[in-house]
Structure 1
């Protein structure tokens, strides 16, 4: 899943070397925290959050077979 997120996000940003995904697992949920360079935040979020929503939709669909709640957080 981590590789999927990086594959989606790296072509969108100007500084792909600063794309980083951390994973936190708890009992029934998995949290993926995406970090990008501060100048790329707008590109990852998109107008009215549309790009971020699309990324989340793909990640949730890919993670639906894990039988755990999947969360994607975006930060600097």
Structure 2
């Protein structure tokens, strides 16, 4: 999951070396925190959050058969 978020984010931003994905596990939830350079935050979120929502949809589809929920947070 982290690799998918990292790959997508690096393709979108101007500073791919600044992309970081952190993972936190709870009992039933995985929280992925995406950090990018301040100037790239808008590119990752997209107009009206469309890019961020698309990434969340891909994560949801990729974990559909597991019993874990995935939350994507963007900093």
What TM-score results when the alignment is normalised by the length of structure 1? 0.94
Instruction: Return structure 1 stretches of 4+ with deviation > 3 angstroms.
Output: none
Q: Please list every run of 5 or more consecutive structure 1 residues that lacks an aligned counterpart in the other structure.
A: none
Aligned pairs for 1:1-76 within 5 A: 1-75=1-75
Partners in 2 of 1:73 and 1:61 — Cα distance?
A: 17
Partners in 1 of 2:3 and 2:68 — Cα distance?
A: 18
Q: Please list every run of 5 or more consecutive structure 2 residues that lacks an aligned counterpart in the other structure.
A: none
Structure that is richer in helix per residue? 1
Taking only aligned residues, the RMSD between alpha carbons, in angstroms, comes to 0.7
Partners in 2 of 1:64 and 1:57 — Cα distance?
A: 10
What TM-score results when the alignment is normalised by the length of structure 2? 0.95
Tell me the matched-pair count. Answer: 75
